[in-house]
Amino acid sequence: MDVNNKEVLHDVAEADLRLIRFLYCDPSGVIRGKTVHSSQITSKISEGVGLTRAQNAVNLFEDLVHVDGMEPVGEVRIVPDSNTYTHLPWLSRTASMLSDLQEQDGSEWGGCTRSVLKRAIEKAREAGIQIFAAFESEFYLAEDIGDGPQPWANGPCYSSSGMDRASDVIDDMVDNLTDQGFIVEQAINEYGPGQQEIVLKYTDALGAADQHLKFRDTVRGTAEVQHGLSASFAPKPFVDGIGSGAHLHFSLWSLDGKTNLLHNPSAQTEISEMGKNFVAGLLDHLPAVIALTCPAYVSYQRLKPHSWAGSTISWGYDNRECAVRVASPFTGREAESINLELKTSDGTSNPYLALAAVILAGLDGVARKAQPPKPAHRDPALLSPEDKAACDIRPLPASQLEALDALEKDSVIADGLGELMMRCVLATRRAEAAKAIANGDEWARLATFSTY
């Protein structure tokens, strides 16, 4: 949307709203914020709301972790972006805006995840590239019947019976998304019992991350408030169930938005030379990238062979077992529709940090004119040793701690995150790993079932 503060203030009054949420996504991937009464919105929409620096050092398990520069001393401001203003249809007289965390003088604060993505977008622009993206999210609907959360509305994958059984809830979710101005492309029941997927149309990189947070908030709020259910974006909410991803689709475009730079006119179903450079960079940095795209302890319960999640450093054309998939274009729309999909991405991620990491990694490949290995023509686990070598198939980090170690060693991603954000991510996520290891996998799974 192209909305300014004056238009928001007019709508707040016209719609007789009572509460406006100033939301942000912290480094642990949790949507947090503060709520402003409509009587205070005139000043707060510009000056923001105070927030202790320590709040971004709270991890996924709600533990305050010591991070230098994020102690409970001093404040930053939650300053909303009026372009993200929407009414929340599942609530009465309530709206929300996504926000930047700024220093009190209005300058950028190093602990703001949205600002990390803005910097990565600017770096892409300097290279003549505009990024468009969308997160393709799977989630489970669940109910608590006394023995903990259980899948709700089971049905065979993609079946009409499964669609019928969840239709009341999914219809409300679709309505609530479209009422906020989002374009819903698909709504389907997925592989697992109670597993669903709703796909929103791609947009610019910042808009895609903002849209993903609004999507998560809408799905969770609709399930809880209107239907008394839980919605879980966790990568492995049920120990023996199918995992859920938040697959990241993205494409590279000219700055005027007219040319898809992934398109190869001489080979319509293959990507361009720049596209290959970008893929090569992403593969080179993937061990560090997944510390941000699959950042939680439970993320690594999903990244297994034969799970369509991508468990190796690999790429291929329409190969859903590879970490990076070239999605085949649609006939007649090849130049517009060809795109890349990162399978190793899930709902525990902060979308600003996840998308920024992908952009930074790919741009490094473009700058170096790096070449990817041979694309995998089948499931990497089933390739012969010779083909594995030709495709340079390598294992990804097998745990949260291994991925964090890779991130700490990756200067490209570290420089893009900035010094404070890097220290924050390493400290808070390592504290999560320590607590999860101490309490066990089952505790960690249940503790993160519906956090996000």
Check pLDDT > 80 for residue 2: no
pLDDT at 147: 80
pLDDT at 157: 85
- DSSP per position, 331-347: TT-HHHH-EEEESS--T
| CB 314 within 8 Å of CB 391 | yes
pLDDT digits (tens, 9 = 90+) for 134-168: 999 999 999 988 788 999 988 888 888 888 899 99
pLDDT at 5: 94
Look over the chain and give the mean of its residue pLDDT values, rounded to a whole number: 95
pLDDT at 148: 85
339-349: burial string, b at 16+ Cβ within 10 Å, e else: bbbbbbbbbbb
- % of the chain beyond a pLDDT of 70: 100
Check pLDDT > 70 for residue 59: yes
State the Cα–Cα distance between residues 311 and 375, nearest whole angstrom.
15
pTM equals 0.97
- % of the chain beyond a pLDDT of 90: 90
- Minimal CA–CA distance to 20: which of 38, 3, 2, 4? 38
Mention the CATH class of domain 5-112: alpha beta
pLDDT at 338: 94
| CB 283 within 8 Å of CB 344 | no
State the Cα–Cα distance between residues 345 and 433, nearest whole angstrom.
18
Higher pLDDT, 208 or 2: 208
Average pLDDT over residues 257-277: 94
pLDDT digits (tens, 9 = 90+) for 316-338: 999 999 999 999 899 989 889 99
Average pLDDT over residues 23-52: 97
pLDDT at 268: 80
170-195: burial string, b at 16+ Cβ within 10 Å, e else: bebbbebbeebebeeeebbbbebbbb
- In one-letter notation, the amino acid at residue 369 is K
Angle at 92 between CA 23 and CA 20, to 5 degrees: 30
Q: Is 101 exposed, middle or buried (0-12, 13-18, 19+ CB in 10 A)?
A: buried
Check pLDDT > 70 for residue 1: no
Check pLDDT > 90 for residue 175: yes
State the Cα–Cα distance between residues 114 and 121, nearest whole angstrom.
11
7-34: burial string, b at 16+ Cβ within 10 Å, e else: ebeeebeeeebebbbbbbbbbbbbbbbb
CATH hierarchy code of domain 119-447: 3.30.590.10
Average pLDDT over residues 294-302: 96
Residue 326, CB-side half-sphere exposure with 13 Å CA sphere: 25
pLDDT at 318: 95
| CB 99 within 8 Å of CB 33 | yes
For the chain, give every domain's residue range.
5-112, 119-447
Q: How confident is the model at residue 300 (pLDDT cuts 50, 70, 90)?
A: very high
- In one-letter notation, the amino acid at residue 88 is L
Average pLDDT over residues 243-255: 97
Average pLDDT over residues 108-133: 98
The label of the residue with tokens 């991925």 reads: 403
State the Cα–Cα distance between residues 359 and 326, nearest whole angstrom.
16
pLDDT digits (tens, 9 = 90+) for 208-222: 999 999 999 999 999
Higher pLDDT, 146 or 278: 278
